Amino acid sequence: MKSRAAVALEAGKPLELVEIDVEGPKKGEVLVKMAATSVCHTDAYTLSGADPEGLFPSVLGHEGAGVVQEVGEGVTSLKPGDHVIPLYTAECGKCKFCLSGKTNLCGSVRATQGKGVMPDGTSRFSLDGKMLHHYMGTSTFSEYTVLPEVSLAVVSKEAPMDKICLLGCGVTTGIGAVLNTAKVEPGATVAVFGLGAIGLAVIQGAVMAKAGRIIAIDVNEDKFELAKQFGATDFVNPKKYSDPIQQVIVDLTDGGVDYSFECIGNVNVMRSALECCHKGWGESIVIGVAGAGEEISTRPFQLVTGRVWKGSAFGGVKGRSELPGYVERYMNGEINIDDFITHDMPFEKINEAFDLLHEGKSIRTVLHY
Ligand code: NAD
Ligand code: AHE
Ligand code: ZN
């Protein structure tokens, strides 16, 4: 079938709005008609060419919601008409990872996902007869997309898809990093580096966890207003200080924070986020994604003296079993999604959504198909 799509033909170039060919679902696969998608910084990162797993030409996009159109042979857990959120972190429930009880990472489709193909090693997308790669197992920048069954969470039909699409990455990642990865406790002091959708969702999670003090840090002070609305208590622009930002935070907090979150993808800030943690117990969670070849460093003494460095993927959330609950919590007012959506546009304006993100003018732009 034909499908409207925004194709990443090469790194560093705007997406091309074209009509691509989409093959129907094969064994264990599902065809989904996307209703809405948004743009996460990770899409921009991959399009920039900085992603070691980035492949071109490809159909990017991983934050979306849609409706199942057709299921392939052997698919039993979904049916046409089901409302779904694509998952870049699958959940098969059977692999070593899923059975470990220790992680939300799933091994079932991750290897082929990283190679831009379906689990059978082939692509369902082409343009003028030339194969296009899938992306993160989701490719939400095509109106019709094909995913493995294990990469879809079935959610309530009552929920507005142009809102819950944000649960496909940004909102879930930030909240989950606080509640699942860090397990922030009531009264804790938290520092959040980077106030895009991920950082704001961390602030929302910290409020849910009843953190005592939430320090919001960004070089773009325009982000402070929304951070305050989400519940941040202190606001710091590192550019305004001559001391390293970790020293500024340590001085502000009588020795350092209990938890810090890096929500930028900057390895220097990752170091600062670790080193602003309190001696003996402070934990720093890396959420930001750094470019190919980048590495983190610190003095091992920082760890010897009790600081902990951790990472978080999709907030430690198991998508198929837990995302329906996140949707319910949005529907009953426990999770705020609406305030992340600073812009709404037709899908065809997707390159404007990338521009707004790069310019620091948007949190999330929702694109409607
Ligand atoms: P965003 O671009 O909307 O937000 C980043 C924020 O960081 C901006 O407000 C920017 O002004 C701020 N910033 C940039 N440099 C800074 C600095 N030196 N000091 C302080 N603030 C600075 O991005 P986003 O969509 O919120 O994504 C944030 C990061 O999280 C990206 O790296 C993205 O790839 C990553 N991410 C990771 C996961 C995961 O599961 N681990 C999920 C989603 C996104
Ligand atoms: N491909 C990159 C890493 C990208 C990455 O870290 N992705 C995050 C999700 S970002 C969503 O916006 C993640 O969860 N990773 C876990 C996984 O299995 O991909 C690289 O460096 O190779
Ligand atoms: Zn994302």
Distance from the CA of 289 to the center of ligand 2, in angstroms? 7
| Any domain includes 326 | no
- In angstroms, the CA 202 to CA 221 distance is 18
**Distance set, CA 231 to CA 151, 177, 204, 210, 301 (Å):** 33, 17, 7, 10, 33
| Residue 204 binned pLDDT confidence (cut-offs 50, 70, 90) | very high
Q: What are the residues whose beta carbons fall under 8 Å from the beta carbon of 47, sequence distance 6 or more?
A: 8, 11, 12, 15, 54, 60, 354
Buried b (16+ CB within 10 A) or exposed e, 216-227: bbbbeeebbebb
| Angle, vertex CA 123, rays to CA 28 and CA 92, nearest 5 | 30
Catalytic-residue membership of 253: no
**Distance set, CA 300 to CA 39, 248, 275, 288 (Å):** 37, 21, 11, 21
**pLDDT tens for each residue of 252-273:** 999 999 999 999 999 999 999 9
- Indicate if 160 and 257 belong to the same structural domain: no
**pLDDT tens for each residue of 227-241:** 999 999 999 999 999
- Indicate if 261 and 132 belong to the same structural domain: no
Residues pairing with 131 in the sheet: 126
74 secondary structure, DSSP code: T
Taking Cα atoms as reference points, which of 262, 253, 243 lies closest to residue 281?
A: 253
Whole domain around residue 287: which residue ranges? 174-312
| Any domain includes 317 | no
- Residue 47 burial (10 A CB sphere; 0-12, 13-18, 19+): buried
Task: Answer whether the bond into residue 14 is a cis peptide, omega within 30°.
Answer: no
| Total of domains in the chain | 2
- Indicate if 179 and 64 belong to the same structural domain: no
The DSSP annotation for 183-230 comes to ---TT-EEEEE--SHHHHHHHHHHHHTT-SEEEEE-S-GGGHHHHHHH
| Any domain includes 191 | yes
| Any domain includes 329 | no
For residues 115-140, give the mean pLDDT.
98
What CATH number is given to the structural domain containing 281?
3.40.50.720
- Indicate if 14 and 144 belong to the same structural domain: yes
| Any domain includes 214 | yes
- In angstroms, the CA 84 to CA 150 distance is 12
Atom of ligand 2 nearest to the CA of 289: 6
Residue 254: per-residue pLDDT = 97
Nearest CA to ligand 1 atom 21: 218
Report residue 354 as tokens.
């990338």
**pLDDT tens for each residue of 18-42:** 999 999 999 999 999 999 999 999 9
For residues 210-218, give the mean pLDDT.
98
40 Cβ below 6 A of ligand 2: yes
| Residue 318 binned pLDDT confidence (cut-offs 50, 70, 90) | very high
- Indicate if 308 and 343 belong to the same structural domain: no
Mutation test residue for ligand 2: of 38, 41, 42, the one with most atoms within 8 Å of CB: 42
Catalytic-residue membership of 277: no
Residue 196: per-residue pLDDT = 98
182 secondary structure, DSSP code: I
- Indicate if 182 and 164 belong to the same structural domain: no
- Indicate if 148 and 192 belong to the same structural domain: no
- Indicate if 182 and 262 belong to the same structural domain: yes
Residue 132: per-residue pLDDT = 98
| Any domain includes 264 | yes
**Distance set, CA 338 to CA 203, 223, 287, 341, 357 (Å):** 15, 16, 22, 6, 17
What CATH number is given to the structural domain containing 47?
3.90.180.10
| Residue 119 binned pLDDT confidence (cut-offs 50, 70, 90) | very high
- Indicate if 292 and 349 belong to the same structural domain: no
| Any domain includes 205 | yes
Residue with tokens 């959708």: 197
How many Cβ atoms from other residues are within 10 Å of residue 134's Cβ? 25
Query: Can you tell me the ipTM of this complex?
Result: 0.99
**pLDDT tens for each residue of 245-256:** 999 999 999 999
- Indicate if 26 and 158 belong to the same structural domain: yes
| Any domain includes 330 | no
- Indicate if 10 and 138 belong to the same structural domain: yes
Residue 268: per-residue pLDDT = 98
- Indicate if 157 and 38 belong to the same structural domain: yes
- In angstroms, the CA 23 to CA 271 distance is 45
